Amino acid sequence: WKWKADSKPGPRHKLETEK
């Protein structure tokens, strides 16, 4: 999985993308 670097890196976002 890869999180959007453009968006603010947060635990909530990470968990959502990691799903």
Give the pLDDT confidence score for residue 5 in this predicted structure.
58
Give the pLDDT confidence score for residue 3 in this predicted structure.
58
One digit per residue, the tens of pLDDT, for the chain of length 19 reads 565 655 666 666 666 655 5
Report the distance separating Cα 10 and Cα 3, nearest Å. 10
Give the pLDDT confidence score for residue 19 in this predicted structure.
53
**DSSP string of the chain, one letter each residue:** ----SSS---HHHHHHHH-
Give the pLDDT confidence score for residue 4 in this predicted structure.
60
Q: What is the pTM of this model?
A: 0.05
